[in-house]
Amino acid sequence: MSLRKNILTSWIAHIVMVAIGCFMLPFVRSTLAPGAFGAWIFINMISGYAGLLYLGFGATICRYVAKYVANEEWTNLNRVTSTIFAVYACMAGLVLLLTVGFCAIAPWIDKWGTMPIHEVQMVILINGLATSIGMVGSVFGGILIGTQRVGLKRAIEVSSGVLRFLFAITCLKWRPEITTLSVMFLGITILENLLLWLFATRAVPTLRIQRQLVSRETLRECYAFSGYSAIGQAAEQIIYLSDITVIGFSLGVAHVDVYNIGLRICQMIQDPLARIGEVVLPKAGQLHTQSKHSELTSLIARMTALTFVLVGGFFIGVVYFGGMLIRTWIGEDLTQSHRVLVILLAAQIVAQPMLILRKTMLGMGIVRVPSLIDIFEAVLNLVLSIVLVKRWGIEGVAWGTFIPLVFVELLVFLPYACRQVGIRKRALLQQSILPCLVPLAALWAYCEIVSRQNYPEGWITLLAIAGGGGVVLLVTGYPISGLMERENRTTLPATDFSKVGGAR
C-alpha cells in the first residue's frame, strides 16, 4: 500500500473514533452528576500510568513476530510471545496491587467533591482490573500487527468503541453513575481481548503460550531491542497523563473536567497528524537501508511541510472558532477550556513537524538520544506543571506543557536530528516551513473575514467554515507544493548515511 493510502486509511479509522468521542463525551458529561465526570477522567488518568509497565515490549513483539512468521520459525515465535506474555502477566499483577493501594488511600485524597468515597473506590478497583486484562491481551494485538493484520486489529478497536458508545447511552439512562461506566467498559475490554486472542490464534495456528518456553535469554534479547523504546514511551505517558494528574491533586476533579475538554480537542487534532509520522517510519527505514539519501531527505521535507501546514491551519481555526466549537459540542461557554486548547495546540505547531524527524531517526535505528530528550521533556513538563498550577491554575498546567515542548524541541532536538538525517536547519526552514506561510496567511485572512460575520452557531456553520478554510488552504497551497517538491529534489543536501544511524 502506498504512503498516501496508508495515511488515508489511518485517518478513516481515526475519524470513526473521533465521531464516537464527539457524541459520547457531552452525553456522558451531561448525564452524570456534577463533578462525577471529572472524577471519572481523573481515575482513568491515574490508571493510565500502568502504561509505564509495558516496558517497550509492544514494538518488540511486532518486530519478532513479523520476523519469525516470515522465516517460519515457530518455536522462536512461541518463545518470544510466551516470555512477553509472562512479563505482562507479572506487570498485570503489580497493577492489581497498586490498584488496591490507590483504593486504600482514596479516602485521604480530599479532591473528590461530592462523590461518595465507596463509589470512587469501586471504580478504582474495576478500572484496575480492566487495565490488567488489557495489558495481558495486548500480546495478541501485537501478534496481529506482526502478521500484517493491522486492518483487523483496527476493526476490533473501532467495534469496541461503537459498543462502548451504544452501551453508554443505554445503561447510563438506567443508572447514571460512573460505576455503570466502569462495569460496562470492563465487559467490553474482556470481549475485545477475547477477540484479539481468537484472531491471533487463527493468524498463527502454531501459536502456543507455555510456561516452559519462558526464558531469561529471550527476555534479555527482547529488552535489548525495547530498552530505549521503553524510555520514549514512558516519556509520552508522563506528558499525556501528568497534566490531569497535577490538576486533580492540586485543584480537585471539578477543574479536571474543564481542562479535559481543551485537551481532548487538541488530541483529536493531534492524533491524525501523528499518523503521518507512523507511516513515514517504515518508508524512511527502507530508503535508509537502500541508501537512497536524496529520496529520504525529500520525503522528510514534504512530510514536514504537510504536517506544519495542517497543524498551523488547525491552530488558526481554533483561535477564531474554538469557542464556538466548545459551545456547540458541550453546550456551555467555557472560556478557560478554549484558552487551554489554544496553548496546547500552539505547542503542537512545533511538536508535530518534529515528529517527522523523530520517526525518520527511529526508522534509521537512532533511538538512544531521542529517548533521553523525550524523558527530559517529560520530567520538565511535570515540574513546570506543578509549579505553574499554583500561580495560574489550569492554564499554568497548559503552559507547563507548552514550554518544554517548544524550547527543548527547537533548541535541543532539532539541531541533533538535522545532523543525524543530513539536513541543514536553514534548508529545512526555507524549503518546508517558509512556503507554507503563504497558504496559512491566506487562511488567517479568511478566518478574520468570516469571524466578523453574524452566522448562527452550530455544527452546520462550523462544517461550512471548516470546508471553506480547507478550500483556501488547497487553492493557495497546491501551486506551492509542486514547486516545493521540485526544489526539495535538488536543493536539500543529503549526508553519507553509512556514517550515521545505528542504535544511538
- Nearest in space to 455 (alpha carbons), one of 341, 363, 328: 328
How buried is residue 122: exposed, middle or buried, by Cβ count under 10 Å (0-12/13-18/19+)? middle
What was the pLDDT predicted at 222? 78
Which H or E run contains 289?
helix 253-289
Instruction: Give the number of C-alpha atoms closer than 13 A to the C-alpha of residue 15, restricted to the C-beta side.
Output: 6
Average pLDDT over residues 118-125: 92
Residue 228 banded pLDDT, cuts 50, 70, 90: low
- ∠ CA 226-375-296 to the nearest 5 degrees? 65
Taking only the tens place, the pLDDT of each residue in 286-312 is 677 677 888 888 888 888 998 999 999
Residue 49 banded pLDDT, cuts 50, 70, 90: confident
- Which of 48-62, 85-99, 318-332, 435-449 shows the lowest mean pLDDT across its residues? 48-62
Task: Please report, for the chain, the start and end positions of each structural domain, with discontinuous segments joined by +.
Answer: 1-214, 233-494
What are the distances in angstroms from CA 463 to CA 331, 480, 498? 17, 26, 49
Is the pLDDT higher at 436 or at 7? 436
What was the pLDDT predicted at 498? 36
Rounded to whole angstroms, how far apart are CA atoms 345 and 255? 19
Residue 33 banded pLDDT, cuts 50, 70, 90: confident
- Which of 50-54, 379-383, 409-413 shows the lowest mean pLDDT across its residues? 50-54
Residue 96 banded pLDDT, cuts 50, 70, 90: very high
pTM summary value: 0.79
Taking only the tens place, the pLDDT of each residue in 50-65 is 877 887 777 778 778 8
What was the pLDDT predicted at 384? 94
What was the pLDDT predicted at 9? 61
Which H or E run contains 231?
helix 216-251
Q: C-alpha cell of 148?
A: 500484517
What was the pLDDT predicted at 7? 56
- Which of 4-8, 133-137, 169-173 shows the lowest mean pLDDT across its residues? 4-8
**CA torsion sign, 386 to 389 to 395 to 399?**
negative
Average pLDDT over residues 266-290: 76
Contact yes or no for 56/235 (Cβ under 8 A): no
Q: C-alpha cell of 500?
A: 550515521
Average pLDDT over residues 168-178: 87
Average pLDDT over residues 411-428: 90
Average pLDDT over residues 210-227: 81
Taking only the tens place, the pLDDT of each residue in 332-375 is 889 999 999 999 999 999 999 999 998 888 778 787 888 889 88
Q: Which amino acid is residue 86, in one-letter code? A: A
Query: How many other C-beta atoms can be found within 10 angstroms of the C-beta atom of residue 116?
Result: 11
Determine the length of the chain.
Answer: 504
What was the pLDDT predicted at 491? 46
Residue 331 banded pLDDT, cuts 50, 70, 90: confident
Distance of CA 173 to the CA centre of its chain: 31
**CA torsion sign, 267 to 339 to 32 to 460?**
negative
Mean pLDDT over the full length of the chain: 84
What was the pLDDT predicted at 504? 38
Rounded to whole angstroms, how far apart are CA atoms 76 and 24? 43
Rounded to whole angstroms, how far apart are CA atoms 284 and 273? 17
